[in-house]
Amino acid sequence: MTTTEHPTDPLAASFAVLLRGPLTELYALLWRVGVLEVVTTERRQPRLATTGPAAAEYRRATG
3-state helix, strand and coil shares in percent for the chain, rounded to the nearest 5: 55, 0, 45
17 within some domain: yes
32 within some domain: yes
**Position 44, amino acid:** R
Q: Which residues contact 38 (CB under 8 A, 6 or more apart)?
A: 31
User: What is the structure's pLDDT at 41?
Assistant: 82
Encode pLDDT of 18-57 as tens digits: 999 999 999 999 999 999 888 888 877 666 555 666 666 7
Q: Which residues contact 27 (CB under 8 A, 6 or more apart)?
A: 36
When divided into structural domains, the chain yields a total of: 1
Half-sphere exposure of 42 (CA within 13 A, CB side): 3
5 within some domain: no
56 within some domain: yes
State pTM to two decimals: 0.46
User: What is the structure's pLDDT at 19?
Assistant: 92
Residues spanned by the domain of 28 = 10-61
User: What is the structure's pLDDT at 7?
Assistant: 74
1 within some domain: no
